[in-house]
Amino acid sequence: MTAHILLVEDEVKLARFIELELGSEGYRVSVAHDGMAGLSLAREFNPDLAILDWMLPGLTGVELCRRLRATGSKVPVILLTARDEVSDRVAGLDAGADDYVVKPFSIEELLARIRAHLRRTQEPDEDVLQFEDLSLNRRTRQVYRGKRSLELTAKEFDLLEYLLSHPRQVYTRDQILETVWGYDFMGDSNIIEVYIRYLRLKLEEQGEKRLIHTVRGVGYALREPNL
């Protein structure tokens, strides 16, 4: 089945270029050049993936993403951002975006991200959560970093499962506390730091790159090592 991609980009030349490249990869593409038109297109045909430029006339890509999520849409969203907007990326992730591509980007990079996100949403096995070389099986409770099996305690497993449920999403300390330890947890909230440290030690035992990243003043996220 051909994936149908929504592209919202106000730079007409760039939009045309991306549209042609995606088309030659076999994707169906619908293009809008402003936020409101993008929103109505999204509602019209329910895309398999959306590529949204951050700065758009009418409605920003972030706001558009937020509105899509408000309607319950789980469509994978890739934001295109200018380099000076990168520092705002937490705002985009909070709005429910799944990924970022920083302009100027190579088309190969964008295509690779698209393939990765489409693969994930078409993944039939919900029991297995994967990110980079990390995989976690909810049913068998086995966790692997590459080929290496990890021995996790019950709480470490729960914490990692939560972070893995939405890679790149930033979870606040309160969200983590409520979900992993329970709303009525009365202990020391430093417990999160302690468990993050345990998890990192186990995940990086063989010198592997860091996947659990601290987002200063906010919380934690699972991210690519280079971000």
Binding interface with Ca ion (CB under 5 A)? 10, 53, 55
Q: How far is the CB of 52 from Ca ion (least distance, A)?
A: 10
**E strand or H helix that includes residue 175:** helix 173-176
Q: How far is the CB of 9 from Ca ion (least distance, A)?
A: 7
Nearer to Ca ion among residue 83 and residue 216 (C-beta): 83
Q: State the DSSP code for 88.
A: G
Q: Give one word for 92, left, alpha or beta, with left for phi > 0 and alpha for psi -120 to 50.
A: alpha
Nearer to Ca ion among residue 101 and residue 128 (C-beta): 101
Q: How far is the CB of 61 from Ca ion (least distance, A)?
A: 8
Nearer to Ca ion among residue 60 and residue 169 (C-beta): 60
Beta strands 77-81 and 99-102: pairing type?
Answer: parallel
Q: State the DSSP code for 169.
A: P
Q: How far is the CB of 30 from Ca ion (least distance, A)?
A: 18
**Minimal CB distance residue for Ca ion:** 55
Ramachandran angles phi, psi of 57, nearest 5°:
-70, 145
Q: Does residue 151 contact residue 202 with C-beta atoms inside 8 Å?
A: yes
Nearer to Ca ion among residue 7 and residue 159 (C-beta): 7
Tokens of 221: 């996220």
Tokens of 82: 């200018």
Nearer to Ca ion among residue 10 and residue 158 (C-beta): 10
DSSP string, 12-26: HHHHHHHHHHHHHTT
Q: How far is the CB of 48 from Ca ion (least distance, A)?
A: 23
